[in-house]
Amino acid sequence: MLSERSAETVRATLPVVRGAISEIAARFYSKLFAERPELSRDLFNRGNQANGTQREALAGSITVFAAALIDEPGTSPERMLSRIAHKHASLGVTQEQYRIVRANLFAAIAEVLGDAATDEVVRAWDEVYWLMAESLVTREEKLYAAAGAPDGDTWREYRVDGRTSETTDVVTFLMRPVDGGPAPEWRPGQYVSVRVRLPDGARQIRQYSLTGDPRDDALRITVRRVNGEPEGEVSNRLHDHVREGDVLWLSAPFGDVVLGEGSGPVLLASAGIGCTPVIAMLRHLVATGSTRRVIAVHADRSPSTHAFRAEFERLVGELDDAEAHVWYESPEGPWPRERTGRPDLAGLRIPPGTEAYLCGPPAFMREAHRQLVSAGVAETDVHYEIFEPDSWFAEG
């Protein structure tokens, strides 16, 4: 809990820090990478650094945590902390790195705030930082212990045993541990990190949802080619250069957005490549003979870009009590007008007690979230996975 004196200082300065935090974050990363260039090369996503989403996520997390400390003493934003801890564990973040971050972050704060960064202000925000850091370290230590790697090194070599094209720009890789041991246990909705050496020598890391069945003796990831500015360094490298027989470094499975146990109704809503955690959830429901009420929703550009289209339909058809709803922006051939364009969950009949899982572009998930809450789904029963640094929590 934040001390009373620091709470007063943070409450008084939060508007100023919140207004300057984007500039603070930008200077922080500049300082950090100047001091430790290997972190930019081998740990942080260079694409997210280039487009600024990493800075937005850092800024959002710090101010959200600080606001929670002063508005609801004794509590913390659990969802945000859990999400960050799982992401950190998938990267192998260590306790020592928090000290490196602190030094560069507070140097940036001093530069941006100038005379406003008095000793009292720095002490108060230092307390905020270490409360957040210690909370994350505690969570990450538990995740590492559960993965059997208390030192934080969960990396393991996997051989690619199969490669399947799902669409023209989506590929699934089937992988088995090189050491001959069993594949790790995981839950539907989780992901693994993949570490790839790029032509310039960087060892960049990206996370990909597991798309198989947790009972399989191998791991499957499904990767979409990323075009545009910036292009997907790791995803496109996997597409262009990884074939059967090649070896990849994978982390243990992590991720806090997992299909809950129980018998209540469930809604799975995805858009584009957001179908990857959903297909694993559907596979698990079918494999376990689930009798839950399932509403499966997907939105895509067209049938030809809809990865796992045939399997999506088959899996929903194999469940005892399930229905599928699909929208396409550009249908190919005859297609219902009411299912053309953006998805509309408001027209669905959603049973009381439904637990919802969302994955897709932020705009899709925000609108789906709004419609579900309006339909009576509890805020705490709406879970989402996002394939970029998560600043959504800072926006509302």
- What does each of the 396 residues of the chain score in pLDDT, given as a tens digit? 899 999 999 999 999 999 998 899 999 999 999 999 999 999 888 877 776 677 777 777 889 999 999 998 877 899 899 999 999 999 999 999 999 999 999 999 999 999 999 999 999 999 999 999 999 999 999 999 999 999 999 999 999 999 999 999 999 999 999 999 999 999 999 999 999 999 999 999 999 999 999 999 999 999 999 987 678 999 999 999 999 999 999 999 999 999 999 999 999 999 999 999 999 999 999 999 999 999 999 999 999 999 999 999 999 999 999 999 999 999 999 999 999 999 999 989 999 999 999 999 999 999 999 999 999 999 999 999 887 655 544 443
pLDDT at 392: 46
| Whether the Cβ atoms of residue 29 and residue 105 lie closer than 8 Å to each other | no
Q: How many residues does the chain have?
A: 396
pLDDT at 75: 78
**N-term to C-term CA, the chain:** 24
Class of domain 266-385: alpha beta
Collapsing DSSP to helix, strand or coil, 243 comes out as coil
| Whether the Cβ atoms of residue 100 and residue 32 lie closer than 8 Å to each other | yes
List all residues 6 or more positions away from 279 whose beta carbon is below 8 Å from its beta carbon: 211, 222, 308, 311, 312, 315
CA distance 156 to 250: 5
The token duo for 209 is: 């949802």
List all residues 6 or more positions away from 19 whose beta carbon is below 8 Å from its beta carbon: none
List all residues 6 or more positions away from 40 whose beta carbon is below 8 Å from its beta carbon: 32, 33, 46, 49
pLDDT at 389: 58
pLDDT at 245: 98
DSSP 254: B
CA distance 42 to 322: 44
User: Which strands sit side by side in the sheet containing 247-250, from one edge to the other?
Assistant: 203-209, 191-197, 247-250, 156-167, 170-177, 219-224
| Whether the Cβ atoms of residue 204 and residue 45 lie closer than 8 Å to each other | yes
CA distance 294 to 310: 18
140 as an active site residue: the answer is yes
DSSP 73: T
Is domain 4-147 given the CATH code 3.40.50.300 in the classification? no
List all residues 6 or more positions away from 176 whose beta carbon is below 8 Å from its beta carbon: 158, 159, 161, 183, 217, 218, 219
- Listed residue (236, 189, 235) closest to 212, CA to CA: 189
pLDDT at 388: 63
Q: In the chain, which ranges are continuous DSSP H helix?
A: 4-35, 37-42, 46-51, 53-71, 78-91, 95-113, 119-146, 233-241, 275-287, 309-318, 362-374
Q: Residue 169, Cα to own-chain centre: how many angstroms?
A: 21
pLDDT at 390: 58
CA distance 370 to 330: 24
* Strands 219-224 and 170-177, sheet pairing: antiparallel
Per CATH, the homologous superfamily of domain 155-254 is Translation factors (2.40.30.10)
- Listed residue (195, 184, 201, 276) closest to 242, CA to CA: 195
pLDDT at 96: 93
Domain ranges of the chain: 4-147, 155-254, 266-385
Question: CA angle, 144 as apex, 238 and 282 as ends, to 5°?
Answer: 55
Collapsing DSSP to helix, strand or coil, 375 comes out as coil
HSE at residue 80, side-chain half, CA atoms within 13 A, is 25
- Which pTM was predicted? 0.94
Q: Which of 29, 127, 129, 140 is catalytic?
A: 140
pLDDT at 50: 72
Q: Which of 29, 98, 208, 328 is catalytic?
A: 98
* Strands 294-300 and 322-328, sheet pairing: parallel
CA distance 134 to 148: 21
Common-topology check for domains 155-254 and 266-385: no
Collapsing DSSP to helix, strand or coil, 245 comes out as coil
